[in-house]
Structures are given as structure tokens and as C-alpha cells.
Amino acid sequence: INRLIGDLLELSRTPKYQRRPMSLQPLLLDILEFFEPELQSSRIHCVTSLPPDLPPILADADQLTKAFQNLFRNAIQAMPLGGHLTVSILPGPHGQGGEIRIQDDGEGIEPEALNKILNPFFTTKEKGSGLGLPIVKSIIQAHQGSLEISSAPGTGTTVSITLPALALEKAS
């Protein structure tokens, strides 16, 4: 109940973002390290393509951590028999910003559900609240980014997050 209330409050309030220059590569590696025991016990092989030399972006690391943790948790849950998780960063124009892709080869999402999964309280999980993806969407939008989810039953899911090119000069 506490988690559900916390999620409801997070979705209904606009959090105060503490934007600072940060690199996406170490953030994603830290989150994946956190999930490593669960990935191993679930027989999920993780592959990363995270260039270390991307310029920093202006972002709230705590909020992005919440978003990526939710997406990795969803990917793990979509592969109950094991599988592959691929996490990659593609640089944005002129080497700034970029696209983060999270791909799994799990169960996939039915087309009818895919059109609704970003709506609050919609869930395909037996014990889901339907608030995780709407919270992810609000965090990404607060960073002037976009979120796209593509999937088909039996083929897995790809989540693409595009974050804009944010110059470091704006951080000063």
C-alpha cells in the first residue's frame, strides 16, 4: 500500500529536479550492476553498448535512475524463462544527447495493450499497479525527452528513450 501511494503521489506531483551535468554510461552500468543478481538468477544474459566518451547531459540522476530501474525490472519480468537484455546508447546529433535503447527478447506485448501501457492504472501484470510506465514517461518528458515502445507478442520489446542535446553551458 505504501509503494502504491508513493507511486500515486509521484505521478500526481511535479518533483523538483536537480539537474546537473552527468554521463549516461556510468549511470546505466551502476543500475545494471544493481540488477546483476536478479539477471543471473533469471538466466538473462545482458549485453551493453555504452560508449564511455559521450559528452555529459544535464539531468537529474536520481529521477533517471528511477526510470531506468523500472524499465529494467519490466524487461526482467518479461523473460520468466531467461533470455537476452540489450542496453545501448546511440549518440545524438553532434555527439550530444542521445538515444538509450533497452531491448528484451521476452514475451512481448499484445497490440491492444501496447496502445494503453503508458496510461495510468493500465497493467497486464497480475500484481501490477499500472503506474510504473506513466512515471517513466513523466520523468523522461521532464527532461524534454521522448519515450517510444515497440513490441509484438513472442518477439520481445524495445524501449527507446531520446534525450535532447543539452549543452553544458546551460548547467552553469
Q: What's the distance, CA 8 to chain centroid?
A: 19
Q: Distances from the Cα of 81 to the Cαs of 39, 43, 76, 78, 84, in angstroms?
A: 11, 7, 10, 9, 10
Above 80 in pLDDT, residue 78?
A: yes
pLDDT at 167: 41
Rounded percentage of the chain residues whose pLDDT exceeds 70: 81
Question: Mean pLDDT in the chain?
Answer: 84
d(Cα 149, Cα 140) in Å, to the nearest integer?
13
d(Cα 117, Cα 123) in Å, to the nearest integer?
7
pLDDT digits (tens, 9 = 90+) for 1-10: 565 556 555 5
pTM value is 0.83
pLDDT digits (tens, 9 = 90+) for 107-165: 999 998 888 888 877 677 777 667 789 889 999 998 888 999 999 898 999 999 988 76
One-letter amino acid for residue 90 of the chain: L
Above 90 in pLDDT, residue 71?
A: yes
14 grid coordinates: 511535479
Half-sphere exposure of 161 (CA within 13 A, CB side): 24
Region 8-23: mean pLDDT is 71
